[in-house]
Amino acid sequence: MDFSPILPLPVRCCWMIRSSDGLSRPEVIKSASEVPFRFRSSTMIPKPIYEVLPYGYVLVGVLAVTGTDPILGKACGVLLIIVGVFVYQARLRYRHRKLRLGDWSSGGARHPGAAKRFNDHGEPVSRARTKAQQDFYQGEENYAEGNYAEARQYYRQAAEQGHISAQVNLGVMCVAGEGGPQDEEEAVHWYAQAAEQGDALAQFNLGAMYVEGQGVARNFDKAMHWYRRAADQGNAPAQFSLGLLYEQSPGTLYLQEAVQWYRKAAEQGHAPAQVNLGALYAEGHGVRQDFQEALRWYQAAAADGYAPAQFNLGVMYAEGQAGILRDLAMAYVWFSRAAAQGDADARQFQQQLAAQLTTEQKTQVRQLLETS
């Protein structure tokens, strides 16, 4: 069974939300849009040939049909056209999964900032600053209790005094329509206020608004500007998003930039970046093709329970790659883990593999799944 390449998984937009305890947590805001993606080359056929193979079949078939050959030649031509279409459709269906630009944006991320009354040197802050912190703290308490209208009011009071965390959280509430009407333009205003003060989370949120065209005209140059400012401060989602923008720009140099930013985010444990970095290694795009590196990054993301990584591991073991032995039992295990999270494609491949497993492999699968 040929498992290359694999269709990317639509994901939901995930935003980092910081709360008064200083911890960052993901929050799903809304469904992401699907966007184009690139083919992964087959491991059995050289990449340039693989990309044009279906078109070659169709072209030869058309020439045979329209020529003056006998009936047998025309029949062969029709057959070649059918084969070409079949190969093309197969190539569309099977791909390594990778997140694309529309899979990671939109919404907003809340900010931490407990109500400190002293600065970093232990000195009392100004009375005005204390009032802003108090308002923010009241906003946090009301938000935690589900009193969104009151939370929005307190956040606004603190935001108007220049409180960064309140500005970001108010922006999030404006995007989500919590505690009041949805107002994406106001969200952009507050994100910009905090972003200009150098806050990485606000810069990331503002970049995402420019990507989606929410509350502001879509502008990828400005999105890249704000992502870059956040990424330079070590914000992993911004590093990943910057990698997405570079990857979808034309040119090898941009692909190399994408690899660098994916790596920075991946090294911080950012699962989507780990998957995309692994996919670039599997494709040999922007970096020398290295299936062992692809495997390593997929395993890192899969260890955190990330379904697209589990799916891609299933693909690698089902196919067998350079230096990676074909192992249907391991492929079945990884497809099973992805399927358990609701992955319909993984469930389909799991069912297909089940018919091919030997009794010994089935025993191995049971043992692996029981210990996971």
Q: What tens digit of pLDDT does each residue of 147-194 get?
A: 999 999 999 999 999 999 999 999 999 999 999 999 999 999 999 999
Place of tokens 């870059």: 228
How far is it, in rounded angstroms, from Cα 206 to Cα 100?
19
Per-chain mean pLDDT for the chain: 77
Tell me the DSSP string of 267-321: TTT-HHHHHHHHHHHHHTSSS---HHHHHHHHHHHHTTT-HHHHHHHHHHHHH-B
Distances (CA, A) of 23 to 18, 110, 205, 241: 6, 10, 17, 21
Instruction: Assign 131 a pLDDT band (cuts: 50, 70, 90).
Output: very high
Cβ-based neighbour number of residue 107 at 10 Å? 24
In this predicted structure, the answer to whether residue 101 has a pLDDT above a threshold of 70 is no
Q: Domain map of the chain by residue range? A: 47-93, 104-269, 290-372
Compare 96 and 273 and report the one with higher pLDDT: 273
Does the domain spanning 104-269 belong to CATH 1.10.3720.10? Answer: no
CA dihedral 204, 210, 211, 212 (to 10 degrees): 110
Q: What is the pTM of this model?
A: 0.71
At 306-339, the pLDDT tens digits run: 999 999 999 999 999 888 899 999 999 999 999 9
For residues 124 and 173, which has the higher predicted lDDT (pLDDT)? 173
What is the per-residue pLDDT across 226-264, written as a single tens digit (0 to 9) for each?
Answer: 999 999 999 999 999 999 999 998 888 899 999 999 999
pLDDT at 66: 62
Q: Report the distance separating Cα 295 and Cα 282, nearest Å.
A: 8
Q: Which residue has the higher pLDDT, 34 or 82?
A: 82
Q: What is the pLDDT of residue 79?
A: 65
Asked if 94 and 2 count as a contact pair (C-beta separation under 8 A), the reply is yes
Q: What is the pLDDT of residue 337?
A: 95
